[in-house]
A and B are shown apart, each in its own frame.
Chain A
Amino acid sequence: MNTGYSEIQSARRSRAEDKAMTAVFTGVGGFFLLLLFAFAGYILIGGLSGFRPELLSFTDDGIGNQFFNTVYLVFLSLLISVPVGVSAGIYMSEYAGNGKFLYCLRISIESLSSLPSIVIGLFGYLVFIQMTGMKWNLMAGALAVSVLSLPLITTTTEDAVRALPSAYREGSLALGSTHFQAISRVIVPSVVTRILTGVILAAGRGFGEAAALLYTAGQSTVINWKNMNITSATCPFNPFRPGETLALHIWGMRTEGSLNPDATRIANLSSAVLIVMVLSFTLLARYLGRKYEAGTEGSQV
């Protein structure tokens, strides 16, 4: 009788405990969502409240030039990292088999992806600036960013190709194609959306990268939009000129910003622009990913 009573009590306690813990977990989940919205809202409102049209201009007072530098630098870096990353991913999934070489490659990619970006930045500084004897330039920054995005693009490609049903490859080979034809006409076209998802995510990270660019792309921008001579140091499209990106601009506003009366306003607006870019790129990648899933569902046997 006595034991039965205590068992009921213990069962009640467990149930109360269960309810309490459920409340805790739900609370943390909700708190977390609120935090993100508060964070994003704070940045967006902070950026827009101090907004004046001249802050967007392509002059020293605005962030137009920095915005252009950011997009141009990420574009340059993708020119390098996409071909190399996609080829390496195809190699890993199609040619490498399961040998020692593949193992080394995996270790390399894992090490590369976990290196702090400032270490990659210093490597870039040493190799692309000190060893070549050049001043800070966009190309060096682009190379450093492409080193950072290579692991992501390579692994996305490899995973995408490996996840493709073998019927794709076999069907193509059975029709008499060579392995190269199977890869270029069947395999790559059918995973191109997934690869694109990885590329977009990599681009999104590139936009916000700062530590790797501190000593490669530099912290100054002197360009003249009327100068279209690509070899000239003030031509906007010259990849071998120094160029400060938006993320570095925020960093700079804090250190040398006291000279600029609008420093806080500029940094707020730059943060808002960066957040909008990253948000839209992440959402785009998700949308493409979902579309890809919907597209392959019907075609699988």
Chain B
Amino acid sequence: MRGITTGCGLLIIALTLAVGGFLIIRGTVTFTVFRHSVSEFLFSPNWDPVDSAGGYGGHVGAAVYICGSLMTCALALLIALPFSLAAAVFMTEISPRVGAGFLQPTVEIFVGIPSVVYGWVGLTVLVPFIKNVFHAPMGGFSVLAAGIVLSVMIFPTITTISADAMRAVPQSMRTAAYGMGATRWQMIRGIVIPTAGDGILTGVITGLSRAFGEALAVAMVIGKTRAFPKNILYPTSNLTAAIAADMGNTASGGEYNQALWTMALFLLLISLFFIILIHLIPAIRKRRAES
């Protein structure tokens, strides 16, 4: 029994290492075999890789895709954060009964809604809406549409984690603030939000990490145009949309295909970076408290 369960534990570790290992092997071919520089991939907007098995000599600048990912995530966070914080405060401070009995389960259901369904509703409701109301140049497919769809998707994540952090603020701190004559808003602003700050930050990073890796919902509304957007009403493309659209119809082993694997490796590194960031928060806070 012990042997079997240990084996399963080992399997999980091996699996994680395998995912990382295979992506590194496939993702670095662009740099080792095709001799492109890392800075070309990250910062050059010149994307013109050769799409034939073994052929190379094109350009693999993925800056447009990276910029698209960054812009949609930033926009999503900008929209979702105020709403998430307000919802979390409402759930924990204003009406804990409604919060625990009704809002929390609702949020959990939001988490479970498949991303393609978000994408489909974005495509059939949001895109025409943006087209008609803002007269977007490319028929409503835009950074704005992608940002809104992503914000709805990360909203539950940030809300749940922030609410947990706010619930963990000791009741005695609240009572102390009230005892000094603070109103509820003063208490929330001065005590609850600063004390729960680490937890809220963890929620934000987790939400961002989810937004960065989301593929199909974004691909459905972003327009998949390979150009920097002039403003948020213009379409662009992002890393996940490019992978989802092109991985299947490029020659395996070709420069184009390998560049897509490099993008996947980049996604993996970003998600690892976010995890490390989450683990660093308490350590940084501790060091600051000691000094």
Contacts and interface: CB of A to CB of B under 8 A. Distances in A.
B109 A274 contact: no
B106 A95 contact: no
Interface in A17-54: 17-18, 21-22, 24-26, 28-29, 32-33, 36, 39, 42-43, 46
Given A111-B272, A114-B271, A116-B214, A247 B116 contact: yes
A104 B215 contact: no
Interface residues of A, number: 83
A49 to B, nearest CB: 13
Interface string B197-230: 0000000001001001111100010000000000
Contact of B185 (A18, A95, A110, A208): A18
A90 B5 contact: yes
Contact of B271 (A32, A43, A115, A204): A115
Nearest to B26: A126
Contacts of A251: 116, 119, 216, 220
A9 B184 CA distance: 17
Given A22-B184, A215-B248, A96 B9 contact: yes
Contact of B120 (A91, A109, A271): A271
B23 interface: yes
B120 A123 contact: no
Interface stretch (B41-49, B70-78, B261-269, B283-291): B261-269
Interface in B219-269: 220, 240, 243-244, 247-248, 252, 261, 264, 267-268
B117 A275 contact: yes
Label chain B's interface by main secondary structure: helix
Contacts of A248: 116
Given A32-B87, A271-B117, A275-B117, A264 B124 contact: yes
Contacts of A234: none
Nearest to A208: B114
B183 A278 contact: no
Interface string B1-32: 11011111101110111111011001000000
Nearest to A36: B106
Interface of B: 1-2, 4-9, 11-13, 15-20, 22-23, 26, 83, 86-87, 89-91, 93-95, 98-99, 102-103, 105-106, 108-110, 112-117, 119-121, 123-125, 183-186, 188, 206, 209, 212-216, 220, 240, 243-244, 247-248, 252, 261, 264, 267-268, 271-272, 274-275
Given A22-B94, A119-B267, A127-B18, 7 more contacts: A25-B86, A25-B89, A91-B6, A208-B117, A211-B244, A271-B121, A286-B108
